[in-house]
Amino acid sequence: MQLTVKRFDELSVAELHEIYRVRVSVFVVEQQCAYQEIDAADPHCWHVFLHDEDGIAAYCRVVDPGVTFPEVSIGRVLATRRRQGLGTRIVREGLRVAQERAHASVVRIEAQTYARGLYEQFGFTQVSDEFLEDGISHVIMVWRAQ
C-alpha cells in the first residue's frame, strides 16, 4: 500500500478523477446524501490517500486554515476497504500532514457522529452538540498538539 500526499495542483488528472470517484461513491451514493461533494475547498487542501494496483483504499483531505474553519481541518475521511484498519491509518496520516506540512497545532473537524470514537482515539474532543449536516448527524471535534 502506497501513501501519496499532494496539493491539488500536483494531482494528475487520473488521480483527481479517482479521488472524486471514491468520494462520490461513499458520500453521495453509499450514504444516499445528495449534496455538492466537489467543492471550493479542494484547491486549498493536501490530498492524502493510500492506494495500490486496485485504486484508492483510503483518503482524506487536510484543509488549509481559513477555508472551512479558522484552524486546519481534516475532512472527507473514507476507506473503500472496510475492517482493515485503513480508516485509522488515514486519520493518522492526515494528522501527520496537518502537523508537518500545514504546521497545525490545532485541528478542527466536522465528524459524522457514528465515527466519533475513531477520532477520540487520536485525542479529538467533542466541542459541539450534535447537528444535522445534509441529513447526517455530525459533531464538531478539536485536536490539540501535546
Which grid coordinates are listed for 7? Answer: 496539493
Q: 10 Å Cβ neighbour count for 22? A: 21
pLDDT tens-digit readout, 14-30: 999 999 999 988 887 77
Q: Cell 466537489 appears where?
A: 38
pLDDT at 133: 85
95 in Cβ contact with 74 (< 8 Å): yes
pTM: 0.93
pLDDT at 22: 94
pLDDT at 37: 80
Element (H, E) at 72: strand 72-79
| Max intra-chain CA distance, the chain | 41
d(CA 60, CA 79): 9
pLDDT at 134: 79
Task: Name 59's bridge partners.
Answer: 49, 78
pLDDT at 131: 94
Q: For the chain, which domains are there?
A: 2-144 (3.40.630.30)
The ranges of the chain with pLDDT < 70 are 35
